[in-house]
Amino acid sequence: MLVKVQSSAILGLEGYLVEVEVDSMRGLPGQNIVGLPDAAVKESRDRVKFAISNSGFEYPPGYFTINLAPADIRKEGPMYDLPIAIGILASSEQVSPKYLSDTVVLGELSLDGGIRPVNGILPMCLAIKNMGKKRVLVPKGNADEAALVSDLEVISGENLAEAAKLLNGEKKLISHKVDIQRLFSGEPEYDIDFSEVKGQGHVKRAL
């Protein structure tokens, strides 16, 4: 069963959409990722496998081919872990494809199924909105940043099991809201005091 999961990436300073295609066939267990993946993307194989098993799901048998399109742009980083895992679970009918056509999925997975934050959320969410996508599923730690983009439904999860429940309709999709005034009201904290020491002409480290 061929499943397509929408994701995103950064090219320079701008985000763009990446389509994660997951297809399976009978044969010896295995996985191949194509579409110019870097080492971190290729290593997702083991992270995804253990995250699925440790989240209470069955890692399906067979050989999986995962294509990251467009294939002519190099894909970097672990942000494709979650969309690949969702694609594998959807291909084995453990996750419903109902919301996948209008939901963009981003997130790194730990071996226990936890979803770790990724870099570049804001430009990716801006691109997601401009491409007309309705919703984005992000790690809990990225939810505030993603919610800064108006008119984009932001849902977040702490782990793979929670993400699956959201996509299966077992947990209500509630768009994350951020209090912008509260977010920027705190005083910034610096490890270094950049005030010049009189007569010494150097920068001292704050105690």
3-state helix vs strand vs coil in the chain, percent to 5: 30, 30, 40
193, part of any domain: no
**Average pLDDT estimate for 27-32:** 86
Residue 1: which pLDDT band, with cuts at 50, 70 and 90? Answer: confident
Q: Which two tokens stand for residue 110?
A: 């730990």
Q: What is the pLDDT of residues 137-185, one digit of tens each?
A: 999 999 999 999 999 999 999 999 999 999 999 999 899 987 766 666 6
**Average pLDDT estimate for 78-105:** 96
Residue 45 structural domain = 3-178
Residue 112: which pLDDT band, with cuts at 50, 70 and 90? Answer: very high
Q: Which residue has the higher pLDDT, 184 or 56?
A: 56
Number of domains the chain is built from: 1
Query: What is the pLDDT, as a whole number, of residue 116?
Result: 98
Q: Report the Cα–Cα distance between both ends of the chain, in Å, rounded.
A: 60
173, part of any domain: yes
Which strand (E) or helix (H) includes residue 66?
strand 63-69
**Average pLDDT estimate for 26-52:** 92
Three-state DSSP state, 151: coil
158, part of any domain: yes
